[in-house]
Structure 1
Amino acid sequence: MSHGYGPKERDDDESIRVIGRAVELGIDLFDTADAYGPFSNERLLGRALAAHRDQVRIATKCGLVARPDGRFGRNGRPDYLRSACEGSLRRLGVEAIDLYQLHRVDPAVPLAESWGALSDLVSEGKVRRLGISHATREELEQVHSIFPITAVQYELSVWVTHSLDDILPWARKNGVGFLAFAPIGRGYLSGRLEHDQLEADDSRKRDPRFASDAMRTNHAIVQGLRKVAARHGATPAQVAIAWTLTRGDNVVPIPGTRHLRWLEENAAAVDLRLTEEDLHDIDNLPAATGEMIWDRTRFATSEVPEMTRG
């Protein structure tokens, strides 16, 4: 709604209507980050959920900072994380953050120091639970021994499955929730997205998986989802979300959208029950073409203390 995709299409008033409708549909977890905008998405969510705070949980993140060149860096210093939390509390308009997540591990700061600072925020009542995004299994084990992780967050979808090998089993074993972001493949798995539809400032323009040749090759994945969807009178996006839900009771997909139509379509995926035949067909779809860039190596270490303003 505030970051990454098609900036010309952003409409805060429409986004607030979408969030309100999500609450009506029973959706009660909303995920954001101070880096989205930066800052503007937290303000938007704070406005939209002000009248629904007793019905919802808000998850936000810290430690990933926008740089003047449009890229991101990391800052896991305890003093920075503390100031980032204060900023998020103010923008969200809440007394405590339900789930506060370390957006990325900063290799320049001992992880125990970053996590210890976050656990202090829990002790102070400013944060209720802690989570972490895109950490290695070893890093998860380290921080979980210091203060319990409530949820981890990784990309998980029909075309991004690497976390199934070690992260998801670890989370299941340790009773940790798994927030699966981009379950519709940043829109591609809906079957409605073409390369020439992306605006110049759309972050997907820089992603090899969204290059025109790769998108044409990956069309076979969408066709496979269409085949499964046809059996149920559903859409490829609903099948993609339903597949994510089959990965485990601790897996919570968090698809994003700016439009009421797609919100209602996404929410209806919870009622779609995939059969063994469906799962077999999905598991045998071709691997995606194009290396994804949304991993740990994409973000350099960076200190941008002025980003705590706002």
Structure 2
Amino acid sequence: MASTLPAVERVKLGSQGLEVSKQGLGCMGMSAFYGPPKPEQEMIDLIHHAVDIGVTFLDTSDAYGPHMNEVLIGKAIKGIRDKVQIATKFGIFTDPVTKARGINNKPEYIRQCVEGSLKRLDIDSIDLYYVHRVDKEVPIEITIGVLKEYVEKGKIKYLGLSEASSSDIRRAHAVHPITAVQMELSLWSRDVEEDVIPTCRELGIGIVPYSPLGRGFFSGVQVQTLPDGDFRKLFVPRLQPENLEKNQVFFQRLVEMGKKYGGTPGQIALAWVQHQGVDVVPIPGTTKVKNLEENVGALGFKLSKEDLAEIEAAVPVEQVAGDRYPEASMQLTWRYTHSAPLSSWKA
């Protein structure tokens, strides 16, 4: 099947010089949140296959596992470091006793995280390092100032933000150029179009959509068959029974569109994201070769403005039932989290 796949272009992500594959690979589900960790060698083989077919932009975080996913990526890229671009993140931590999740962007914690990620990934320099979530208690200028030191040392090549508001993006970019902002963007998650995406474009910052397939919804994931421990089964509001039943109509519409365009519902949804701009590089995640190749196949679609409008009309965002995260997690996203003013900081 791989021989029939479209070529995966290399593109500039942002305006600072980073080049990546036009589609990336989200690696989170290999180790965390989507049920038990998957067999290590299978995941290493999957990553190698992704690189072989041109998907070289690998996305991870120290929060995935925690730490386990970075170790996996480190093993997978042995001998092929020069072929891949590694993006990882810091800022979300899990209390080892209470298991409660929190945010920490303080300087001493950043330093621990950078050194920890470099060691686990077994690399000398991180290609793209994201602030995974913005800390309300720490001015973004302080956070980026510490990361800038690591860029100057050569331990980080480019900086990014995830789930950041327009104002925080501007403040961060004023301290050191931001290369990319990661955000949830899909047919049913489009609120970033209002302000976040225009800000990125004004500043020459690349756009990296995560969950471009609606956490598998647009690929036809059967929520009831997901393993225990998969957070989608219990915690993603849109996938809970009362909302899922209402949302199913959107999936069925994409099934019909797939017949028209000659693709799967997931390919139609992902092709829509890919068409949102030359500065857009989505990172669909998967743990299966079949799904990886299906996702890459979405790069072969050429959609007109009329096609895109038709696809958008099939999933009117105002009719989507449920939010993208549970309430507590929503409070950590860009709409609700704003960095403390610099004047408040006391080292």
Does TM, normalized by the shorter one, top 0.5? yes
1:198 corresponds to 2:226: yes
Q: Residue 52 of structure 2: which of 21, 24, 44 is its match?
A: 24
Q: Partner amino acid for 1:15?
A: M
CA 1:274 to 1:228, structure 2 compared with 1: closer, same or farther past 3 Å? Answer: farther
Q: Which residue of 2 aligns with 1:304?
A: none
Q: Residue 267 of structure 1: which of 280, 293, 296 is its match?
A: 296
Q: Is the 8 A contact 2:92 2:104 kept in 1?
A: yes
In 2, are the aligned partners of 1:105 and 1:111 still within 8 Å (CA)?
yes
Corresponding residue number in structure 2 for 1:306: none
Runs of 4+ in 1 over 4 A off after TM superposition: 298-301
Aligned to 1:226, which of 233, 255, 258? 255
* 3-state secondary structure, aligned to 2:133: coil
Could you tell which deviates more after superposition, 216-225 or 273-282?
273-282
Aligned to 2:322: 290
Q: How has the CA–CA distance of structure 1 residues 107 and 296 changed in structure 2, closer, same or farther, with 3 Å as cutoff?
A: farther
Cα deviation, 1:72-98, whole Å, max 9, x if unaligned, reads 211111111011000000011110000
Q: How many residues align?
A: 299
SS at match of 1:59: strand
Distance 1:28 1:262 in 2: 16
Map 1:55-204 → 2, pairs under 5 A: 55-68=83-96, 69-191=98-220, 193-204=221-232
> TM-score, structure 2 length as denominator?
0.83
Deviation at 1:250, TM superposition (A): 0.5
CA distance in 2 between counterparts of 1:71 and 1:160 reads 26
Residues 1:5 and 2:34 aligned together: yes
- Which of 265, 276, 284 in structure 2 is aligned with 1:255? 284
Contact 2:40 2:72 in 1 (8 A): yes
Other structure's SS at 1:10 match: coil
Overall identity of the aligned pairs, in %: 40
| 3-state SS in 1 of match to 2:204 | coil
Secondary structure at the aligned position of 2:78 is classed as: helix
> Residue 248 of structure 1: SS of its match in structure 2?
coil
Aligned AA for 2:154? G
Alpha-carbon distance in 2 for matches of 1:255, 1:262: 10
Give 1:278 deviation, angstroms.
2.6
Q: Secondary structure of 1:273's partner? A: coil
Equivalent residues of 1:224, 1:281 under 8 A apart: no
CA-CA distance at 1:158 after TM superposition: 0.5
Task: Tell me the secondary structure at the aligned position of residue 64 of structure 2.
Answer: coil
- Work out whether residues 183 and 208 of structure 2, in 8 Å CA contact, stay in contact via their aligned partners in 1: yes
| Contact 1:208–1:291 (CA under 8 A) maintained in structure 2 | yes
Q: Is the 8 A contact 2:133 2:332 kept in 1?
A: no
Kept after mapping to 2: 8 A contact 1:228/1:278: no
Unaligned runs of 5+ in 2: 1-29, 338-347
Aligned counterpart for 1:281 among listed residues 302, 310, 314:
310
Is the Cα contact below 8 Å between 1:151 and 1:177 reproduced in 2?
A: yes
For structure 1, which runs of at least 5 residues remain unmatched after alignment? Answer: 302-310
| TM-score normalised by the chain length of structure 1 | 0.92
Q: Deviations over 1:19-78 (max 9, x none)?
A: 000001101211100000000000000111112111111000011112234442111111
In structure 2, what residue type is equivalent to 1:209?
R
Higher mean displacement: 248-257 or 209-218: 209-218
Q: Secondary structure at the match of 1:50?
A: coil
Whether 2:240 is the aligned partner of 1:211: answer yes
Aligned to 2:20: none
**Could you report, residue by residue, the CA deviation over 1:265-308 in whole angstroms, capped at 9, with x for unpaired residues?**
1111111112334312222123311112265514899xxxxxxx
